[in-house]
Amino acid sequence: MNKITIFTPTYNRRNTLFKLYESLLEQSYQDFEWLIVDDGSTDNTDDLVDLWKSENKILIRYYKQENGGKHRAINKGLDYAEGELFFIVDSDDYLPSDSLEIINKHYSTIKGNDSFIGVVGYMATPNRNILGSKLLPVDILDSNLIERREKFGIVADMAKVLVTEKFREFYFPEINGEKFVAESLIWNRMALKYKFRYFNETIYIAEYMEGGLSNNSIRNRRKNPQYATLLYKELSHSQQSSMNLKLKSMINYWRFGFCKDKNILRLMRELGAEPLSLITLPFGLGLYIKDSFSDDINIKKLNNDG
């Protein structure tokens, strides 16, 4: 059996956490801990968690930090995790009763293989509709985030379960003054060294809440442009990115680069890759101007997220 850390970063989600708690009580696979990092909640989440801990039905560990964003909470969770596997489950989502059993089954097939960093299954809505427009072409696929989108064209929300020790090679960068970074920054970095085993089963139920991170993609990037430009700069230079992805990434680099610095020469030096960076500049500038009037655009409108 492989111990799994269910990791939940939370911020003022006391009213939704109970559904996740109940789903953990119903898991058919019981070798897990529930590790919660509270990112500065003010809604007495700690009192609710204390009540659940007193029930002693599952192992719960709870830590609270000053508000710093989900990525900082994940970093803290990696420090505290005791499970062999690390499974991020957001505070407004929950798990099917056989989720951990399915994860353990698939992980056991790649355990000890140094080329893998984890396993990945589908996310679905509460009525069990898989979140995606193009799904796996086979029951099992060994790939990474960039390849599965670029080579196989798979567009789906998928839940990643990672080997904890290998995940610790990829802590999120912490930039002062910024509290949001797309998780794909780290998944893309992992793609240069490791692959995932993707499987054709649902392990995660997602309920997108009003005000959640996934509902504010453009807005979050505009408010945190250093993270956004880092993401797209790395994608534009990645050896695994197709030319199409490189061009999209450069456009998005300019799109958010103007939010942090209006000096084109400084941005150009940072991005490099002339003359393509010059060719993509006007397209990015146009999107920057458009976003200035309306930045309420869902994350699915951007490339290479998820």
Q: How far is CA 135 from CA 107, 182, 200, in A?
A: 20, 22, 8
Per-residue pLDDT of the chain (306 residues; tens, 9 = 90+): 789 999 999 999 999 999 999 999 999 999 999 999 999 999 999 999 999 999 999 999 999 999 999 999 999 999 999 999 999 999 999 999 999 999 999 999 999 999 999 999 999 999 999 988 788 888 999 999 888 888 888 888 899 999 999 999 999 999 999 999 999 999 999 999 999 999 999 999 997 654 444 445 898 899 999 999 999 999 999 988 999 999 999 999 999 999 998 899 999 999 997 899 999 999 999 999 999 987 665 544 454 454
3-class DSSP state of 108:
coil
Placement of tokens 């998928």 in the chain:
158
Q: Which pLDDT score is estimated for 229?
A: 97
Q: Which pLDDT score is estimated for 296?
A: 61
Q: Judge contact between 123 and 18, C-beta under 8 A.
A: no
- If phi > 0 it is left, if psi is from -120 to 50 it is alpha, else beta; for residue 262 that is alpha
Q: Which pLDDT score is estimated for 293?
A: 86
DSSP tag of 21: H
Q: Which pLDDT score is estimated for 156?
A: 83
Q: Where in the chain is the domain with CATH 3.90.550.10?
A: 4-214
What pTM, to 2 d.p., does this model score? 0.91
Tokens standing for residue 277: 């960076």
| Other Cβ atoms closer than 10 A to 29 | 17
CATH of the domain spanning 4-214: 3.90.550.10
Strand-pairing partners, residue 252, are none
Amino acid residing at 221:
R
Q: Which pLDDT score is estimated for 157?
A: 86
